[in-house]
Amino acid sequence: MVRVVMGMAGMFTFLRRFSSRLPTKIRLFTSKEASMIIFRIALILSATLFGMAIYQRTINMWAMKNIGDTFLRKEIGSRQILLGTFFREKSEQNFDGKFVIVHFLGDTRMEHPLYCHTMMANGKTMTTRAHVQRIHRGKRAANDICSWAGHLAECEVEVHTHRELRIGTTADPLESLLIHPEIPKHIRPKADLVVCMAPMYIYIEWEILLLGLETWLSMGAQKIIVPVQSASTTAYSILKKYQEKGYVEIREWPKWPTLSDVNPNGLVLSRGIEESHVNCLLHTKPWADLVVFTDIDDFYLPADPSNVIIGGTPALFKEIFDEHPQAGSLLLNIEIQFNFNFLQNTKFKQNCQVWRMKTRVVVNASRVDSVNMHETGIHRFGYVQVRVPCRKGHFYHFRHSHGTVPSPTEIDMTTLQSILNRSWKKRLFSSLNTIAASQLPPSSIESFEDFDKCMGAINAEHWTMKVSRCLTPHVCFSRLKRDVPCVAARADYAFHFSAISSSYIMTPKVCCL
Ligand SMILES: *[C@@H]1O[C@H](CO)[C@@H](O)[C@H](O)[C@H]1NC(C)=O
Ligand SMILES: *[C@@H]1O[C@H](CO)[C@@H](O)[C@H](O)[C@H]1NC(C)=O
């Protein structure tokens, strides 16, 4: 308010001086006076606005950052990055014909026309324009810096299309990129429950990885899909072992070519989780019934964990889906945060609260087209997203160490302990026997401490106004002071520049891990 008053006072002085001059002679302002007037008007306006905003508490750091970001502009035309191409399942169609789904990244504020070109039997090219849907609005849709978001495009292709097609931004088949869509695997019966993990980025905590894999497998997941950007060779070799036995599927998840967000953590995690989930969903559709989207350190357990039964989770989810026949997806609350030794040390859980809690998502794969980390998006044929209270079970989260649990209820984890003990013993003598015989570098939680520090630093940085708002605390992840041998997914990006539409279209050619 002080500034408003000062601004007002300034205005009155100004008006008094101005009017006292007027009667004597009317003259043009000198440029110095004109700029002074503009400056003062601007000052008064901004002082009034800021004064009112601060008085009403309608402005905060975020709003001011958004105002700042608005002044940053880029003029680079449209640059879609095609992340994946899939065939639409016949069972999900209510039209005849063959359709292709293209998952791509693009600037939310632009239109992204996309065309599919396929060869017909008579040698002519069939060109169709894709129906494009934006999956979400980007991290912050308001400005240039953060406006990248996933899109789904669907177009009809020639019915015999199988190995390849061309996709471009114009109707001219010459202006296009050769794409190899994913060949769907139709495994019958479909897997009851598949887990899609968030991408691994500098991932080293192999003990947590093992706990995560073993718990999900014991709970009845048939396959765990792990997108890997980078991981320690130890973590990766464990994943490989599980992949050999068919429990895990590793998918290369390369970094995107730098968008305006220069922070690689942001590109893989903060911005990348949603897209990796969509990619995983489209990949699993042909062979999975229910898909759950989660971190390696979240589990779904019955409301009373002492009632946990081996392989019981798919049945729990099925029960909820049966209670809600219109549900395409379920939102389930994330309940507690465990400390690291959660099996032994966790005696309490937070009471169930439905209000404003973070959620995990379970979908019926054939009823949903997009997942947005904590919720779903595009549903098919009138199916809807249903938020279910935690009567039957909860998601338990145990990554972050923490001291106290608000409004605690007692829980008993011994049943889960002995289930895990038994399956783990079996695993050590079967699929993991080679790893069991070798010495692994200790997995430590030093990076968790680092994580906490990082969160603090990010929060502090936000107050300096120097950091882009695309950067969220999600960028905080494992980071080590020591050197750890690791593997990373590498990709060359193939691209085509169309002179007609002055736009780029690109797609990663994933190389290797
Ligand atoms: C998933 O959806 C399909 C198609 O609507 C349906 O046949 C199937 O029973 C559903 N699965 C569950 C577990 O509800
Ligand atoms: C599981 O194994 C650990 C380590 O061997 C042991 O301390 C714990 O008591 C076991 N728990 C159960 C319930 O068997």
Per-residue pLDDT of the chain (513 residues; tens, 9 = 90+): 444 444 444 444 444 454 445 444 445 557 778 888 888 888 888 888 877 776 666 556 666 666 666 666 556 678 889 999 999 999 999 889 999 999 998 888 788 999 999 999 999 999 999 999 888 766 555 555 566 788 999 999 999 999 999 999 999 999 999 999 999 999 999 999 999 998 888 787 888 888 889 989 999 999 999 999 889 898 999 999 999 999 999 999 988 876 544 455 555 555 688 889 999 999 999 999 999 998 887 888 887 778 888 898 999 999 999 999 999 999 887 765 444 344 555 554 554 444 445 678 999 999 999 988 777 889 988 999 998 877 778 787 765 444 445 555 666 778 888 888 888 888 888 877 887 777 777 766 665 666 667 767 766 666 665 555 555 545 565 556 678 888 999 888 889 998 888 888 889 887 666
Q: How many domains does the chain have?
A: 3
Give the count of beta carbons closer than 10 Å to the beta carbon of residue 490: 16
| Pair (359, 286) in one structural domain | yes
Q: What is the pLDDT of residue 64?
A: 65
Ligand 2 atom with the shortest distance to the CA of 415:
13
Position 341 in a domain:
yes
User: What is the Å distance from ligand 1's center to 320 Cα?
Assistant: 12
Long-range contacts of residues 134-139, Cβ cutoff 8 Å, at least 24 apart: 134/108, 135/274, 135/278, 135/370, 135/372, 135/377, 135/378, 136/274, 136/370, 136/372, 136/377, 137/108, 138/108, 139/270, 139/271, 139/469, 139/470, 139/472
CB 112 within 8 A of CB 133: no
Ligand 2, atom 2: closest residue by C-alpha: 421
Cα of 210 to ligand 2 centre, how many Å? 16
Separation of CA 49 and ligand 2 centre (Å): 63
> For strand 223-228 and strand 298-302, is the pairing parallel, antiparallel, or unpaired?
unpaired
Enclosing H/E stretch for 455: helix 446-462
**Is there a single domain that holds both residue 143 and residue 202?**
no
Q: Are strands 125-129 and 176-179 parallel, antiparallel or unpaired?
A: unpaired
Listed in sequence order, the residues at least 6 apart from 256 whose beta carbon sits closer than 8 Å to its beta carbon are 81, 105, 267, 271, 272
Task: Write out the E strands in 135-284.
Answer: 148-157, 165-168, 176-179, 191-197, 223-228, 230-232, 248-252
Query: Do 508 and 423 share a structural domain?
Result: no
8 A C-beta contact, residue 431 and residue 321: no
Instruction: Supply the pLDDT for residue 343.
Output: 53
- Does the residue 67 lie in any domain? no
| Alpha helix stretches (DSSP H) within 222-301 | 233-244, 264-265, 272-284
Could you tell me the maximum CA-CA distance found in the chain, to the nearest angstrom?
Answer: 103
Domain boundary among 436, 456, 480: 436
Q: Is residue 126 assigned to a domain?
A: yes
Tokens of 484: 């750890």
**Candidates 362, 364, 367, 368: which one to mutate for ligand 1, based on the most atoms within 8 Å of Cβ?**
364
Decide if 64 is inside a domain.
Answer: no
CA of 367 to the centre of ligand 1 (A): 8
Question: For residue 313, what pLDDT is reported?
Answer: 92
Q: Identify the residue whose C-alpha is closest to ligand 2 atom 5.
A: 421
Q: What domain range is 167 assigned to? A: 79-184+494-512
- Find, among 200, 202, 228, 243, the residue nearest to 435 by Cα: 243
What pLDDT score does 271 carry?
A: 65
Nearest CA to ligand 1 atom 10: 364
Same domain, 287 and 431: yes
64 token code pair: 């001011």
What pLDDT shows up at residue 295?
83
Q: Are residues 176 and 290 in the same domain?
A: no
Q: How far is the CA of 442 from the centre of ligand 2 (A)?
A: 20
Q: Are residues 30 and 83 in the same domain?
A: no
Both 161 and 246 in one domain: the answer is no
* 10/129 same-domain check: no
C-alpha 24, offset from chain centre: 68
Q: Tell which atom from ligand 1 comes closest to the C-alpha of 364.
A: 1
Residue 131 has what pLDDT? 95
410 and 432 housed in the same domain: yes
Can you tell me which atom of ligand 2 is nearest the CA of 420? 1
The CATH number given to whatever domain includes residue 267 is 3.90.550
What count of other Cβ atoms lies within 10 Å of the Cβ of residue 310?
13
pLDDT of residue 69: 60
- Whether 404 maps to a domain, the answer reads yes
89 alpha carbon – ligand 2 mean position (Å): 46
Answer yes or no: do 170 and 34 share one domain: no
Q: Quote the ligand 2 centre to 423 CA distance (angstroms).
A: 12
Does 446 map to a domain?
no
Cis peptide before 189 (omega within 30 of 0): yes
Show which of 396, 412, 436 is a domain's final residue. Answer: 436
Note whether residue 483 is domain-resident.
no
For ligand 1, residues with CB inside 6 Å are 289-290, 318, 321, 364, 366-367
Q: Specify which residues 70 forms β-bridges with.
A: none
Last residue of a domain, one of 436, 458, 485: 436
| Same-domain pairing of 129 and 253 | no
Output the ligand 2 site: residues, CB below 6 A.
Answer: 414, 417-418, 421
Cβ atoms of 334 and 398 within 8 Å: the answer is no
Q: Is residue 482 part of a domain?
A: no
The pLDDT, as a whole number, for residue 277 is 93
The ligand that comes nearest to the alpha carbon of residue 343 is 2
Same structural domain for residues 24 and 45? yes
